[in-house]
Amino acid sequence: MAATYQEGSISVRSQGQSSALRPWTNILGWLTGASVLLSIAAIFLYAPTERVQGDVQRIFYYHVSLAWISYLAFFVVFVSSIMYLWKRSPAWDRLALASGEVGVLFTTLFTITGSIWAKPIWGTWWTWDARLTSTLILWFIYVGYLMVRSYVSGREQGARLAAVVGIIGFIDIPIVQLSVTWWRTLHPGPTIVRQTGEIGLPAEMLITLGISMLAVTLLYVYLVLQRVRLEAMKDTVSALSLEIAEEV
């Protein structure tokens, strides 16, 4: 249902998302669910067992997928933050917030799954090597990005400050990615495409990784859309409350 108010200057979409988009979001939800199920089947039934690490290596498919999509999420924060500072449109801020939140969720998950993988392989849950340390810094940067809005009075001021954090924080992404090349790390170096340019995985593993990446990408898009919708609804509630307060 979309409601347009004749009085006052606001035009309100009562559900924060046009009715035209809703069926597509539902379709996306179903596609996401199907791709996740397919990825689980591929990981546990199709992908071969790695010779050295055994079955624990299967953590790799979601660990890597979550990591790459986190980078995508923070890239979206970076671009949306620039657009927000340039255009001052709340829509860009909503997208940045949504993508940042999902990015922090995915970063948390890939860090934990990496730690769980590390215990049987390295004999430790954590080590202060370059990849893990720079990833932890990344997590703190974007948790800070989310928190900074709460510490500033005024929605617009919070959004501007967060946008600055979102732009500067993106510098850590290439550092995280290149840390295994620049420094000696315990974390495995490039395994999918080696530094020689050679593909480092057999076909079945590549296919499984591809399916997992697709599932996580769809999940990211779905979660961001839902989060943007929630934020749009909250903005509508704020605007409407203000309008009513002024009229009464």
Cα–Cα distances in angstroms (integers) from residue 96 to residues 118, 142, 158, 166, 176, in the given order = 32, 11, 12, 8, 21
Which one, 87 or 119, has the nearer CB to another protein? 119
Of the two residues 167 and 229, which places its CB atom closer to another protein in the complex?
A: 229
Extract the tokens encoding 215. 């599932």
Q: Is 227 in the site for another protein (CB under 8 A)?
A: yes
| Contact residue for another protein among 38, 79, 91, 108 (CB under 8 A) | 108
The pair of structure tokens assigned to 36 is 């996740």
- Return d(Cα 138, Cα 135) in angstroms, integer: 5
Residue 230 near another protein by CB under 8 A: yes
> Looking at 138-146, 180-188, 201-209, 221-229, which segment touches another protein (CB under 8 A)?
221-229
Q: Taking CB under 8 A as the rule, does residue 119 contact another protein? A: yes
* Closest CB to another protein among residues 142, 167: 142
Contact characters 6-35, another protein, x per CB under 8 A = xx------xx--------------------
The reply to whether 243 sits near another protein by the rule CB under 8 A is: yes
Extract the tokens encoding 83. 């657009």
Q: Is residue 136 involved in binding another protein (CB under 8 A)?
A: no
Q: How far is CA 68 from the centre of its chain?
A: 9
Query: What interhelical angle do 22-41 and 203-247 show, nearest 10?
Result: 150
CA–CA distances in Å: residue 25 to residues 20, 45, 202, 229: 10, 30, 35, 11
Backbone angles phi, psi at 171, to 5 degrees: -60, -30
Residue (179 or 236) nearer to another protein, CB:
236
Q: Which of 129, 140, 156 is nearest to 238 (CA)?
A: 156
- Residue 142 as a binder of another protein (CB under 8 A): the answer is no
Judged by beta carbon, residue 117 or residue 142, the one nearer another protein is 117
Q: Candidates 35, 42, 47, 59: give the one binding another protein (CB under 8 A).
A: 59
